[in-house]
């Protein structure tokens, strides 16, 4: 990933970098890895994430 700093505007570059990382799901994964999760809890979270992605895809591709 590359973020360019234009006119020494570091704050704007940081904002763009954070937005890209959030879209990538990095912050969500860091939060999930902060503490140990039992395998059953991890599996349920994985299923919830898949359902969230599925709903997002359906909302984007729904034809009326």
6-37 confidence digits (pLDDT tens): 999 999 999 999 999 999 989 989 998 999 99
The residue count for the chain: 64
Cα(4)–Cα(24) distance, rounded to whole angstroms? Answer: 18
Say how many domains are in the chain. Answer: 1
Q: 37 in a domain, yes or no?
A: yes
* pLDDT band at 64; cut points 50, 70, 90: low
Identify whether 5 is part of a domain: no
* Local structure of residue 25 (DSSP, 8 states): T
Q: How far apart are alpha carbons 57 and 63 in whole angstroms?
A: 12
Domain that holds residue 27: 10-61
Tell me how far apart the alpha carbons of residues 49 and 53 are, in angstroms, rounded to a whole number: 6
The overall pTM is greater than 0.75: no
Please, what is the average pLDDT of the chain? 92
Residue at 3 is within a domain: no
> Is residue 4 domain-resident?
no
The answer to whether 22 and 5 have CB atoms below 8 angstroms apart is no
């Amino acid at each position: 990933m590359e973020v360019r700093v234009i006119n020494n505007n570091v704050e704007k570059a940081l904002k763009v970098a954070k937005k890209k990382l959030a879209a990538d799901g990095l912050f969500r994964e860091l939060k999930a890895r902060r503490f140990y999760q039992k395998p059953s809890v991890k599996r349920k979270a994985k299923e919830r994430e898949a359902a969230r992605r599925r709903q997002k895809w359906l909302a984007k591709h729904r034809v009326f």
